[in-house]
Amino acid sequence: MRKRLLVGSAVLALGVSAVAVASQTPRNETFRQLQLFGDVLGIVEQVYVVPVDNKKLIEAALSGMMTALDPHSNYLAPSNYDDLRERTEGQYSGVGLTITAESGLVKVISPMDDGPAAKAGVQAGDVISAINGQNAAGLTVSQVSEKLRGAVGTTVNVTFLRDGEEPREVVLTRDIIRVDSVTGRLEGDFGYLRIATFNENTGRELTDTIARLKREKPGIKGWVLDLRNNGGGLLTAAIDVSDAFLERGEIVSQRGRRPDQIERYAARAGDLTDRAPLVVLVNYGSASASEIVAGALKDHARAVVVGLTSFGKGSVQTVIPLRNGQDGALSITTARYYTPSGGSIQKIGIEPDLEVARSAAEARIVSRSSFIYSEAAYATALDSSIGAERKGAHMPHEAPGLEYPKDKDYQLERALDVLRAGGVVANVAAPPATVVVDGKPEDVTEPTADKDAAPED
């Protein structure tokens, strides 16, 4: 029986064994390949230069098999499976990173709000190159996660690579990551809602936070929903969040391998914000469940989306425990998800209605295709299934100038400008700003037709 379905880091107890998964390969050929695996394992055990741990070899083989499918399918050893369940419950011990792997590199999808990594300045797109002085190249997500986890108060030295900068070694002190999924505050006449991750508590926390802010300031004129650097989480939580702002209509659909494998999720009556204007903030660290919410609210014209095109992870992972979790679990991609209009987010992402970079440095990243951090950058990523492609390298429509204070949030300011204009982008004037790209000044607030075309390098 289905208990939980996650988008991003999924947990689903199906109570089935791996044997139940049907193979498209003829039975005899399958048995021959399994015998080949056994033969290789036996040779390694007998002739390798030092004694080997067969359990580790088999786990590595399982990891390799799963990661060959796509970037998000993987084998979870028992300890990693336990860690995953802890994360969905909203608390765990570690450094506060959501990570993924591609071509032998482990990259940061998003740092958790107020976690050790976020406080140290780690950003989405950073590459983990070394842990405690040991090269991290070739390690799986599970192996890196295991090295980053540890007792509260202990430290781990992590070296990060970032475009255009020298390698940076950071000492991170492990801590209990208490994931307050939802936080909120007043911004003048408007309410600001931040969702850091989608877990079992998100729907309840969002309801409570909206109610608290409405008590503090009756008649709130509009809301900002901040999903930046939110790497995803539970599908059920994404549905709850979308439902909080919608009166009716489809939120998301997921479609599996067969034509009859379609599930649709719809909103129930009742908008917790009384249809007040809404702006959703996204960036390239917004993935998975975040994209479900942004896509649903955009398609229903319920919200204006501001920021940068999201990550583009439009696939659903199902976690299948092996022998009730005693042998770990498989996290395997089982479906793509689609926005209410039928659009696939996979490899494309959610494009903002008002494209705004947070800083001049971020604008430079988007302007250089080789450094855009997205699902589309993965060689083994699933296709979008609709033939569309992610927008290539281009200069964002807006970015703050180099003189803009680093302690201010330009994207949030522009979101509030949209609310002040009644929630209509066309009414929002773009302030003049110039950034420097490859040593040359570039106006990013009044793009010409050539800049809109944004040919790839």
The CATH code of the domain that includes 150 is 2.30.42.10
Let me know if residue 162 belongs to a domain.
yes
Asked if 173 and 303 sit in the same domain, the reply is: no
- State which of 125, 157, 178 marks the end of a domain: 178
Structure tokens at 424: 């209509």
How far apart (Å, rounded) are the C-alpha atoms in residues 281 and 298? 11
Q: What is the mean pLDDT of residues 207-235?
A: 96
pLDDT digits (tens, 9 = 90+) for 341-386: 999 999 999 999 999 999 888 888 888 765 567 888 888 888 888 7
The CATH number linked to 255 is: 3.90.226.10
Asked if the model's pLDDT at residue 163 lies above 80, the reply is no
Asked if the model's pLDDT at residue 298 lies above 80, the reply is yes
Asked if the model's pLDDT at residue 225 lies above 50, the reply is yes
Asked if 285 and 434 sit in the same domain, the reply is: yes
pLDDT at 1: 33
Let me know if residue 16 belongs to a domain.
no
Let me know if residue 80 belongs to a domain.
no
Q: Which of 63, 83, 113, 313 is catalytic?
A: 313
Give the domain extent around 148: 91-178
Asked if 111 and 241 sit in the same domain, the reply is: no
Q: Which of 83, 113, 240, 299 is catalytic?
A: 299
Reply yes or no on whether 163 is catalytic: no
Reply yes or no on whether 113 is catalytic: no
pLDDT at 28: 84
Q: Residues 135, 168: contact at Cβ < 8 Å?
A: no
Q: Residue 123 to residues 69, 111, 119, 186, 349: CA-CA distances in angstroms?
A: 27, 6, 10, 26, 19
Q: Say if strands 304-307 and 354-355 run parallel, antiparallel, or are unpaired.
A: parallel
Q: Which residues have a Cβ under 8 Å from the Cβ of 22 and sit 6 or more positions away?
A: none
Asked if the model's pLDDT at residue 20 lies above 50, the reply is no
Asked if the model's pLDDT at residue 431 lies above 60, the reply is yes
Q: Whose CA is closest to 62, among 40, 77, 43?
A: 77
Distance of CA 278 to the CA centre of its chain: 22
- State which of 178, 204, 233 marks the end of a domain: 178
- State which of 178, 209, 239 marks the end of a domain: 178
Let me know if residue 209 belongs to a domain.
yes
Asked if 159 and 302 sit in the same domain, the reply is: no
pLDDT digits (tens, 9 = 90+) for 73-122: 989 888 777 777 766 665 677 898 888 776 678 888 778 888 899 899 99
Asked if 385 and 257 sit in the same domain, the reply is: yes
Asked if 221 and 164 sit in the same domain, the reply is: no
Asked if the model's pLDDT at residue 8 lies above 60, the reply is no
Q: What is the mean pLDDT of residues 314-336?
A: 91
Region for 382 from its dihedrals, namely left if φ exceeds 0, alpha if ψ lies in -120 to 50, beta otherwise: beta
Q: Which of 288, 331, 359, 367 is catalytic?
A: 288
Asked if 201 and 103 sit in the same domain, the reply is: no
Asked if 244 and 364 sit in the same domain, the reply is: yes
Reply yes or no on whether 407 is catalytic: no
Asked if the model's pLDDT at residue 428 lies above 50, the reply is yes
pLDDT at 451: 31
pLDDT at 90: 54
**Domains of the chain: total:** 2
Asked if the model's pLDDT at residue 36 lies above 80, the reply is yes
Let me know if residue 12 belongs to a domain.
no
Asked if 357 and 447 sit in the same domain, the reply is: yes
pTM over cut 0.85: no
| Band of pLDDT at residue 220, cut at 50, 70 and 90 | very high
How far apart (Å, rounded) are the C-alpha atoms in residues 325 and 13? 9
